[in-house]
Amino acid sequence: MQAIDGVAEREALPGLRERKKQRTRNTLTRCALELFARQGYDGTTVDEIAEAADVSQRTFFRYFANKEEVALALQEVEEAVALAALQARPPEEPPLAAMCNAAMATWDAMGPAIEAVVPLELHLHTQRMIESTPQLLAARLRRLGHFEDRLAAEIARREGVDLATDPRPRVLVAACSGVLRAASRVWGERADGDLDDLLRLVTDYLGLLGPALTGSWRNRT
Amino acid sequence: MQAIDGVAEREALPGLRERKKQRTRNTLTRCALELFARQGYDGTTVDEIAEAADVSQRTFFRYFANKEEVALALQEVEEAVALAALQARPPEEPPLAAMCNAAMATWDAMGPAIEAVVPLELHLHTQRMIESTPQLLAARLRRLGHFEDRLAAEIARREGVDLATDPRPRVLVAACSGVLRAASRVWGERADGDLDDLLRLVTDYLGLLGPALTGSWRNRT
DNA sequence: TGTCAATTGTCAGTGCCTGCCATAATCTCG
DNA sequence: CGAGATTATGGCAGGCACTGACAATTGACA
């Protein structure tokens, strides 16, 4: 699970058993997302997913703690990519700039990582489904909270401050992720959402973070 | 549901039927929170809550869409108090200052509103339970998202900008609420949390919003 | 090949939640 | 006050998510 600097770590074959498990997990994920896309989240039972993946219902629950989790499975991938993007920023970059640039870099690197499991279009459809399904949105926001912790820890490491006593990493990450969520929600409400649109929205919103916090807006229009 | 300027609206008795419903709802809430406090959220069944409130299980689900909702029932009260606090801020106050001051004012006004339903201590215990129960935390975060929309709308109204085209209200609210959540989480992790401690944390964190966003932290320590 | 550990399937059971219909309580109006 | 309309409630059947226990199967490893 640890992200390692080198590149020659990918194909360290972990035994037949482990590969089979990974394959089952991916199959389960793909079948679930396809069924969700076709007949909705609530309209799909765990039994159907299990049958489509040719395993028992009990096995499904050995791979995913609950039905929500399979819908959010790919979010884990996204988080890994985003965290790696932040770690790849040069150390001398100021914290806010590093966060912004990492956000930009994430969109490019994400595609291939997702395609390894499901078609990108299916994943985009899933994202919209999550946003419009209360139960899934709730679970997603909770996971996001944990992810923010990891981001804050990385910021603290970069800047050499102590996360336990210095609240600035948490404050920064909280502000940024709040803005990112606002941007993605506005984007989600547009029916004609393009990926470039999202990138533009995020850029604009992050740029507004400073100005929006200072003084009255009426004197500046 | 509309907030009305006048004050003589409180005691407009809404008929026996309506009062009885409100009483049943409060009873259900109180019984549920007490049971949760005594034997945990997962350790309490809906049947137990219904029995304690002397209604059928079916009736419980007519008042609350699901088990989560009764645990979060008082959050609705808090949101109403907070929104009122924001609306009470003088119009000439800049947006960020209005948000901060409203947050401060909320803590004072909240107590009595809560006490009308359950003892304040029980409510505080419930807050900690929500924070430590994944399912409840998730639901709470989702509700918070809706609440942020209402706050952003109020900010937009105050400043006379259009929420649909000007993202600054959302950006401001997102940043503030992110910081508030970070503060309350840090507070929640301290076992010896005092209410004054929370107030102090929120003040500090909001004050850091500006500085944490600018440049590198290493040159200023 | 044989033994051990991990993975899976089957089954039974609990709890959350919903639709349906009958009953009882409240409201309305003559 | 009383009959009819409206609304809240209770009971029941059933679907679905999820879990524990045990047996059967499969890959790992000597």
pLDDT in tens, A67-77: 999 999 999 99
Instruction: Give the residue-averaged pLDDT of B107-128.
Output: 91
In whole angstroms, give the CA distance from residue B206 to residue B221.
Answer: 18
- Nearest one of B74, B78, B69, B70 to B53, comparing CA atoms: B70
Which DSSP state fits A107? Answer: H
Q: How far is CA B94 from the centre of its chain?
A: 23
Average pLDDT score over chain B: 87
Instruction: Give the residue-averaged pLDDT of B136-159.
Output: 94
The percentage of chain B sitting over the pLDDT mark of 90, rounded to a whole number, equals: 55
Q: For A81-132, what is each residue's pLDDT tens digit?
A: 999 999 999 999 999 889 988 988 888 888 898 999 999 999 999 999 999 9
Residue A142 pLDDT greater than 70, yes or no: yes
Chain D nucleotides reached by a protein CB under 7 Å: 7-12, 16-21, 27-29
In whole angstroms, give the CA distance from residue B80 to residue B25.
Answer: 18
Q: How many helices (H) and strands (E) would you count in chain B?
A: 10, 0
Query: Residues with Cβ < 8 Å from A199, sequence gap 6 or more?
Result: A104, A107
What does the block give as tokens for A37?
């896309």
In whole angstroms, give the CA distance from residue A12 to residue A15.
Answer: 9
Residue type, position A51, single letter: E
Residue B142 phi/psi, 5° resolution?
-65, -45
Residue B5 is predicted with a pLDDT of: 33
Average pLDDT score over chain A: 87
- Nearest one of A124, A123, A130 to A41, comparing CA atoms: A130
DSSP for A21-89 reads HHHHHHHHHHHHHHHHHHH-STT--HHHHHHHTTS-HHHHHHH-SSHHHHHTHHHHHHHHHHHHHHHTS
Residue A219 is predicted with a pLDDT of: 59
Mutation for B interface: A67, A213, A221, most B CBs within 10 A:
A213
Q: For B56-85, what is each residue's pLDDT tens digit?
A: 999 999 999 999 999 999 999 999 999 999
Chain C nucleotides reached by a protein CB under 7 Å: 6-11, 15-20, 26-28
DSSP for B130-167 reads HHH-HHHHHHHHHHHHHHHHHHHHHHHHHHT--TTT--
- Residue A23 Cβ under 7 A from any strand C atom: no
For residue B216, the tally of other CB atoms under 10 A from its CB is 15
Which positions in chain B have a beta carbon within 8 angstroms of at least one beta carbon in chain A? 92, 94-96, 134, 137-139, 141-142, 145, 159-161, 167-168, 170-175, 177-179, 181-183, 185-186, 204-205, 208-218
- Residue B44 Cβ under 7 A from any strand C atom: yes
Instruction: Give the residue-averaged pLDDT of B153-159.
Output: 94
Quick one: closest CA in B to A149, which residue? B182
- Checking each nucleotide's C1' against the CA of A63, the nearest proves to be C7
Instruction: Give the residue-averaged pLDDT of B113-120.
Output: 92
